[in-house]
Chain A
Amino acid sequence: MATVRIPTQLRELSGGAGEVTIDGGTVQAVLEALEVAHPGFGERLFDGDGKLRRFVNVFVDDEDIRFLGGVDTEVTERTVVSIVPAVAGG
């Protein structure tokens, strides 16, 4: 069971929880399982083509998945998957 950190904006979908535990071997599998466990996440995280929305950032153990294997990045029992809103800055 990977731990998924839920940002404030999406906690209405997780019953207010900031963290949930979800099964899955990859980021994609975890996020799909998240939709099954808590319906509503899917349309918020993925666009109409099934791609991760471009302002949704996902970190695996504090590393942006775009520096890893993208949504195919492997996830283990001890992994923390963080969903992070669009970066600001600049």
Chain B
Amino acid sequence: MASHTALRCRECGREYPIAPIYTCEWCFGPLEATYDYDAIKGSISREAIAAGPASIWRYGPLLPVSAPAGAALNAGWTPLVRADRLAAELGLGELWIKDDTRNPTNSFKDRVVAVALGKALDFGFKTAACASTGNLANAVAAAAARTGLESFVFVPSDLEAGKILTTAVYGGNVVAIDGNYDDVNRLCAELAAEFPWAFVNVNVRPFYAEGSKTLAYETAEQLGWETPDHVVVPIASGSLLTKIHKGFHELHTVGLLDEEPVVRVSGAQALGCSPVATAFADGVDDVHPVRPSTIAKSLAIGNPADGYYALDVIRKTGGACGSVTDDEVVEGMRLLARTEGIFGETAAGVTIATLAKLAREGVVRRDERVVAYVTGHGLKTLDAIAPHVSVTTTIPPRLDAFRAAFPELTQEA
């Protein structure tokens, strides 16, 4: 888009022309897309957005790439569901679930990949690649298939079987690495320097990350152009959380919201990979890397690229960052399913369990309008839930057997 003007270092502010680069040559800080907000303000309106496609591309002027021809990269415009039954369980008032399981490959990663591959096509790349904990692998493999790009997806070798299959089915290259995500990530940084590929979360990351802003735009639009008081967001790299915060404020900058929004932003991590939650609890600025050990593999990034920025957003908005055990993760998944009929993956379990914890502690309050982000589908992480749920009973195909199994049931008169 003409309104996307440059890339700027988040650390030292040096500017770079738009290109597939991701770190500042001077201080190694991450680069971020910049915009001419005055130009956007003159061209964007609630009406134009409402008349746009039912996808992230309805917010085209606020993204760093035009909608690719043929709408091959659709994602977003997922339901915002009022969650009264879950709210009652947690002692909360107005609670909403942003159900991002309802994307083409069932996670929010379709949003960021749509933007990344749109930009990759603009740059003329022929191959898409990524380092992934699974959801991104699904999204890149599928979007590459739809757009006719080759794909190379790099994942840790201990990834859930389901996420391997749901990536490999699209026919691209899936490379399992003996190591954890941080090892995969470091290899991909080296590969990105050697091969002329669009690594969506390496050299195309400044554009890719912007796709997450659409979660904030949709939330506000679906609330009738109002913002929540408090959002709870899972943290892996920390990018999603920082971009949701950025998205709410951009809406005000370009005139879509009348007042500067006041949104408390809280983060959710699994205890077995909680570098940001630890820094928050310790009151320090340094996010010290960890070696992940949790069933929430999609959040298992021990060295989060945007950890500093996520911590900063949490602190300055008056949010909190909680962490929960693997048992609580499973209980969170079951609680969401049992109360709202939404089956989220382990990351959703982290988010819901953290929401429950923050509600108990009085951090998330009953008088707040709260939105929790459910970012991936539970069918992706069946391994996590398999030991905990099963059939209620198994019986022969006979009426008396059923009556014997459920003696408490009485026949309706």
**A interface residues, Cβ below 8 angstroms from B:** 8-9, 44, 53-56, 64, 66-67, 84-90
B186 touches A87 (CB 8 A): yes
Which A residues are CB-close (under 8 A) to B27? 44, 53, 55-56
Which A residues are CB-close (under 8 A) to B201? 88-90
**Chain A to chain B contacts (Cβ below 8 Å), 18 pairs:** A9-B28, A44-B26, A54-B286, A56-B28, A85-B23, A86-B22, A86-B23, A86-B30, A87-B303, A87-B305, A88-B22, A88-B30, A88-B188, A88-B202, A88-B305, A89-B182, A90-B201, A90-B305
Query: What DSSP secondary structure best describes chain B's contact surface?
Result: loop
B131 touches A89 (CB 8 A): yes
Identify 4 new A-B residue pairs, CB closer than 8 A, beyond the known A86-B28, A87-B185: A84-B189, A88-B199, A90-B236, A90-B304
The answer to whether B306 has its CB under 8 Å from any CB of chain A is: yes
Which B residues are CB-close (under 8 A) to A56? 27-28
Most chain B beta-carbon neighbours within 10 Å: one of A8, A53, A88 = A88
Most chain B beta-carbon neighbours within 10 Å: one of A8, A86, A90 = A90
B344 to chain A, nearest CB (A): 19
Which A residues are CB-close (under 8 A) to B23? 9, 55, 85-86, 88
**B interface residues, Cβ below 8 angstroms from A:** 11, 22-30, 131, 181-182, 185-186, 188-189, 193, 199, 201-203, 205, 236-239, 286, 288-289, 291, 301, 303-306, 308
Bound Cα distance A27, B186 (Å): 20
B301 touches A67 (CB 8 A): no
Bound Cα distance A63, B305 (Å): 17
Which A residues are CB-close (under 8 A) to B131? 89
Beyond A55-B23, A64-B303, A84-B186, whether A89 also contacts B202 by CB under 8 A is yes
Q: Which residue of A lies closest to B235 (CB)?
A: A90
Q: Which residue of A lies closest to B205 (CB)?
A: A88
B199 to chain A, nearest CB (A): 8
Most chain A beta-carbon neighbours within 10 Å: one of B186, B237, B288 = B186
Bound Cα distance A64, B26 (Å): 21
A54 touches B237 (CB 8 A): no
Q: Which residue of A lies closest to B22 (CB)?
A: A88
Beyond A88-B189, A89-B237, whether A53 also contacts B11 by CB under 8 A is yes
B189 touches A90 (CB 8 A): no
Query: What DSSP secondary structure best describes chain A's contact surface?
Result: loop
Give the residue of A8, A44, A64, A88 whose beta carbon is less than 8 angstroms from that of B289.
A64
Q: Which residue of A lies closest to B287 (CB)?
A: A54
The 4 closest A-B pairs by CB, nearest first: A90-B237, A89-B185, A55-B28, A85-B23
Q: Which residue of B lies closest to A47 (CB)?
A: B27
A66 to chain B, nearest CB (A): 5
Bound Cα distance A84, B185 (Å): 12
B236 touches A87 (CB 8 A): no
Beyond A55-B23, A56-B28, A85-B28, whether A90 also contacts B186 by CB under 8 A is no
Which A residues are CB-close (under 8 A) to B304? 90
Most chain B beta-carbon neighbours within 10 Å: one of A9, A53, A55, A66 = A55
Which B residues are CB-close (under 8 A) to A54? 11, 286, 308
Q: Which residue of B lies closest to A12 (CB)?
A: B25
B29 touches A86 (CB 8 A): yes
A69 to chain B, nearest CB (A): 13
Bound Cα distance A55, B26 (Å): 11
B26 to chain A, nearest CB (A): 7
Which A residues are CB-close (under 8 A) to B286? 54
Bound Cα distance A68, B181 (Å): 19
Beyond A87-B185, A87-B305, whether A55 also contacts B30 by CB under 8 A is yes
Bound Cα distance A9, B25 (Å): 5
Give the residue of B185, B236, B291, B308 whose beta carbon is less than 8 angstroms from that of A88.
B185
Which B residues are CB-close (under 8 A) to A44? 26-27
B26 touches A87 (CB 8 A): no
